[in-house]
């Protein structure tokens, strides 16, 4: 059996320089190497005649060299030209700075070449082709894997290394999946799968291989999450909050009546809290559905039981907003909360840390700063993380370790279809708020093209005149990053000098310092700014009730879920709110996507549609972090396998929670590998 853990430097063809390059790709061991999968493939196995090749097409041709290499010299460049022909016509091949070709190519010999074809008038040219003498299949004559690469490492080099690795492992890899799964689900064995994912002989080979590898990856992830959930449920004793302090005590103090959905999820949460098991619950609810109130109730209950609560938000501004909201209701109940963000003074920070340890603070609200090692609680009983997609399993664990098995509530405003929720949050129970508070006005949404620019500007002006504020969001940060897209700064200037000179315009983007960003956001909140031009950094739950217009530039660039998140920044107050989606392009898909946005305000419907209509998996535009990383699976393309695997995982865990049966031995090994990657302790 090959030693998969051995350093990649011992693989044939890997020298000291190449090790560094491989490490940059995250490849340290032989195992990392053979599981570094191709991004795509080039079929260099089917030759075309010169006349068949189209302009711009990558083609394989079989030709005879009808000249020697002719070299011409420019200032610093050289160009190598070769006359070629096949049975249909004559053509030329050109390269740049490849002087050595003079000795490689001989007139009269036959070659296979693969490269991009240019056709102008009746001249045919192939540029910088890779080639072999007929008979060799080093570069041509087969399907070639294309890897995601970094600078300085070429496809040829990595391919050669991979070939050496295959010689080393092929036929000797130990099967990772149990026999019974391979049989029932007709999966390819590991040796064939690894070989064919790198070097398929025919295109269908790689599909079979990929199917097996995706199956394995998804199954292991799902099993790991389910077993984690099981383990916490069965083995870990949590805090049993008593039932004398009912959540209802505090909901009576709210200035509004809870929605039915809020009441229902609060019951689920209260039941968890009063039971001995550790709560690990995901609270999903659309933007504006009132998750903060729910978090506050849970915190209230924890504090009334003599415990502390921690509320973690992704940005300082959100944390500050939570702090204000909590104080409004909880201060008069004698509950003390404090804010821990990076912006506070050192002295204040030390004071907070001190009081926290002594138990003089009931609720600590903050950003990532809360996870830092020096933050110690006296008796942490509840952890709430807001907008969870910014945090991963690992961070969730880290904060939980600050208490003795505290209850955990994870809040997310990204509505996710069930199948995805199961693989993203498979270790959690799920509560859903599927109802908005009453009397919310639908955000009127219009999809418009550039031609309407002036009308849009007039519309913004009319609302500003009435004292409202507006957001304008664009997809990019810097000037000219990509032709045709407006940059934030450019646009802000234009609005300030030409379109709305009598109003205060400001801009915001991700490359500004956090403190600068917060200052701008605060000014906007206080209405010292009328129009805020921004990248997507404003997407998370900031509340500015007076802002009622959201204009999104180049809306076709965003995923639907992200558009929905952005739109949720308005409609948070008493005013009728509007969202204007400015888009370009008239493909069917773009139009359909825009229509979905104008037709509905329901995040769950939008996320389902997003999956249906997705352009490039951009559903996760809003959820970059905290996602399990997949080497080969793609949650969208592989949805069918995902569904299959979820059923299988459920059955396996129901029958053999700890994977102790003989037949599941192999699964236990790989699940444990996965769990230790998650930093959660193994089965």
**Which residues contact Mg ion by CB under 5 A?**
541
**Cross-strand pairs, 471:** 532, 550
Q: Least distance in Å: CB of 128 to ligand ADP?
A: 54
CB of 647 to ligand ADP, least distance (A): 32
Specify which residues 61 forms β-bridges with. Answer: 48, 113
Nearer to ligand ADP, 417 or 437 (CB): 437
Work out whether 412 is an interface residue with ligand ADP (CB under 6 A). Answer: no
> DSSP states of 443-466 as a string?
-EEEEE-GGGHHHHHHHHHHHHHT
In whole angstroms, how close is the CB of 575 to ligand ADP at the nearest point? Answer: 13
Q: At what angle do helices 560-567 and 603-613 cross, to 10 degrees?
A: 150
Residue with tokens 């790991």: 224
Q: Which of 292, 431, 535, 680 binds ligand ADP (CB under 6 A)?
A: 292
Q: Which helix (H) or strand (E) holds 472?
A: strand 469-473
- Contact flag: residue 288 with ligand ADP (CB under 6 A): yes
Instruction: Give the nearer residue to Mg ion in terms of CB position, either 292 or 680.
Output: 292
- Among Mg ion, ligand ADP, none, partner that 475 touches (CB below 5 to 8 angstroms by kind): none
The answer to whether residue 547 forms part of the interface with ligand ADP (CB under 6 A) is no
Burial 12-45 (b: 16+ CB within 10 A, else e): eebeeebbebbeebebebbbbbbbbbbeebbebb
Q: Which of 326, 583 has the CB closer to ligand ADP?
A: 326
| Distance between CA atoms of residues 598 and 189, nearest Å | 48
The alpha carbon dihedral of 60, 65, 68, 72 has a sign of negative
Half-sphere exposure of 672 (CA within 13 A, CB side): 12
Q: Which is nearer to ligand ADP, 258 or 566 (CB)?
A: 258
Sign for the CA dihedral angle at 267, 270, 274, 276 comes to positive
Torsion angle of C-alpha atoms 295, 396, 617, 415, degrees rounded to 10: -20
Tokens 């006296």 found at: 378
Give the integer Cα–Cα distance in Å for 422 and 608. Answer: 15
Any contact of residue 222 with ligand ADP (CB under 6 A)?
A: no
Contact between 487 and ligand ADP by CB under 6 A: the answer reads: no
Q: Give yes or no for residue 287 binding ligand ADP (CB under 6 A).
A: yes
Q: Which of 211, 259, 388, 395 binds ligand ADP (CB under 6 A)?
A: 259
Per partner kind, with CB cut-offs from 5 to 8 A, the member of Mg ion, ligand ADP, none near residue 287 is ligand ADP
Q: Report the residue from 153, 309, 413, 555 that binds ligand ADP according to the rule CB under 6 A.
A: 413
The stretch near ligand ADP (CB under 6 A) out of 116-124, 239-247, 280-288, 554-562 is 280-288
Residues 430-469 that bind ligand ADP (CB under 6 A): 437
Exactly one of 291, 390, 557, 609 binds ligand ADP (CB under 6 A); which one?
291
The interface partner of residue 536, options being Mg ion, ligand ADP, none and the CB cut-off 5 to 8 Å by kind, is none
Check residue 262 for interaction with ligand ADP (CB under 6 A). Answer: yes
- Asked if residue 290 binds ligand ADP (CB under 6 A), the reply is yes
Binding residue for ligand ADP, selected from 251, 280, 289, 487, defined by CB under 6 A: 289
Number of residues counted as binding ligand ADP (CB under 6 A): 15
Which pair of tokens denotes residue 228? 């984690």
Choose one: 139-147, 252-260, 576-584, 673-681; the region binding ligand ADP (CB under 6 A): 252-260
* Closer CB to ligand ADP, 177 or 413, in the complex: 413
Query: How far apart are the C-alpha atoms of 68 and 106, rounded to whole Å?
Result: 6
Q: Between β-strands 58-65 and 110-120, what pairing exists: parallel, antiparallel or unpaired?
A: antiparallel
Cα–Cα distance, 268 to 251 (Å, whole number): 15
Alpha helical stretches, state H, 69-123? 101-104
**Residue 622 tokens, joined:** 């809003």
Task: Tell the smallest beta-carbon distance from residue 440 to Mg ion (Å).
Answer: 15
Q: Pick from ligand ADP, Mg ion, none: which does 417 bind, CB < 5 to 8 A by kind?
A: none
Q: Can residue 569 be called a binding residue for ligand ADP (CB under 6 A)?
A: no
Nearest CB to Mg ion, comparing residues 92 and 518: 518
Residues that bind ligand ADP (CB under 6 A): 256, 258-259, 262, 285, 287-293, 413, 437, 541
């Amino acid at each position: 059996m090959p030693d998969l853990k051995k350093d990649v430097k011992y693989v044939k063809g890997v020298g000291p320089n190449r090790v560094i390059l491989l490490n940059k790709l995250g490849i340290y061991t032989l195992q990392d190497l053979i599981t570094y999968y191709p991004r795509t493939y080039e079929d260099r196995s089917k030759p075309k005649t010169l006349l068949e090749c189209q302009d711009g097409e990558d083609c394989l041709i079989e030709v005879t060299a009808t000249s020697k290499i002719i070299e011409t010299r420019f200032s610093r460049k050289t160009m190598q030209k070769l006359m070629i022909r096949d049975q249909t016509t004559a053509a030329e091949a050109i390269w740049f700075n490849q002087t050595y070709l003079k000795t490689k190519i001989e007139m009269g010999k036959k070659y296979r070449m693969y490269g991009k074809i240019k056709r102008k008038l009746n001249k045919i040219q192939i540029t910088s082709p890779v080639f072999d003498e007929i008979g060799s299949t080093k570069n041509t004559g087969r399907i070639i894997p294309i890897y995601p690469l970094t600078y300085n490492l070429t496809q040829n080099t990595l391919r050669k290394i991979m070939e050496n690795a295959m010689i080393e492992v092929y036929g000797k890899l130990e099967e990772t999946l149990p026999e019974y799964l391979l049989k029932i689900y007709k999966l390819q064995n590991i040796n064939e799968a690894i070989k064919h994912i790198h070097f398929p002989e025919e295109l269908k080979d790689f599909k079979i291989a990929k199917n097996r590898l995706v199956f394995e990856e998804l199954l292991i992830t799902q099993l790991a999450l389910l077993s984690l959930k099981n383990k916490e449920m069965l083995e870990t004793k949590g805090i049993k909050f008593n039932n004398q302090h009912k959540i209802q005590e505090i909901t009576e103090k709210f200035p509004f009546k809870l929605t039915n959905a809020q009441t229902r999820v609060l019951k689920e949460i209260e039941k968890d809290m009063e039971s001995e098991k550790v709560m690990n619950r995901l609270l999903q609810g659309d933007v504006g559905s009132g998750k903060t109130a729910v978090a506050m109730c849970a915190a209230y209950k924890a504090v009334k039981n003599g415990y502390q609560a921690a509320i973690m938000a992704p940005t300082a501004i959100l944390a500050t907003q939570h702090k204000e909201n909590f104080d409004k209701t909880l201060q008069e109940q004698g509950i003390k909360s404090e804010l821990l963000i990076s912006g506070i003074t050192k002295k204040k920070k030390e004071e907070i840390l001190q009081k926290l340890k002594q138990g003089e603070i009931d609720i600590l609200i903050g950003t990532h700063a809360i996870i830092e090692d020096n933050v110690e609680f006296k008796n942490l009983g509840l952890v709430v993380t807001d907008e969870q997609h910014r945090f991963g399993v690992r961070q969730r664990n880290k904060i939980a370790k600050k208490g003795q098995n505290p209850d955990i509530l994870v809040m997310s405003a990204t509505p996710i279809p069930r199948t995805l929720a199961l693989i993203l949050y498979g270790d959690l129970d799920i509560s859903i708020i599927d109802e908005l508070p009453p009397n919310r006005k639908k955000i009127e949404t219009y999809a418009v093209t550039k031609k309407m620019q002036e009308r849009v500007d007039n519309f913004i002006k009319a609302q500003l005149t009435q004292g409202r504020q507006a957001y304008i969001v664009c997809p990019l940060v810097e000037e000219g990053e990509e032709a045709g897209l407006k940059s934030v700064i450019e646009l802000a200037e234009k609005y300030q000098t030409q379109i709305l000179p009598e109003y205060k315009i400001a801009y915001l983007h991700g490359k500004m310092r956090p403190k600068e960003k917060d200052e701008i956001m605060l000014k906007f909140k206080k209405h010292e700014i009328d129009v805020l031009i921004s990248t997507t950094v404003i997407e998370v739950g900031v509340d500015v009730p007076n802002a009622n217009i959201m204009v999104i530039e180049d809306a076709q660039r965003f995923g639907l879920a992200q558009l929905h998140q952005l739109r949720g920044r308005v409609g948070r107050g008493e005013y009728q709110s509007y969202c204007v989606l400015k888009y370009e392009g008239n493909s069917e898909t773009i139009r359909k996507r825009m229509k979905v946005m104008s037709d509905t305000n329901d995040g769950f419907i939008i996320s389902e549609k997003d999956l249906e209509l997705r352009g490039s998996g951009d559903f996760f535009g809003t959820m970059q972090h905290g996602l399990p990383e997949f080497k080969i699976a793609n949650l969208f393309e592989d949805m069918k396998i995902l569904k299959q695997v979820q059923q299988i995982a459920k059955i396996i865990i129901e029958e053999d929670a700890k994977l102790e049966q003989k037949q599941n031995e192999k699964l236990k090994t790989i699940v444990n590998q996965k769990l230790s990657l998650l930093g959660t302790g193994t089965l």
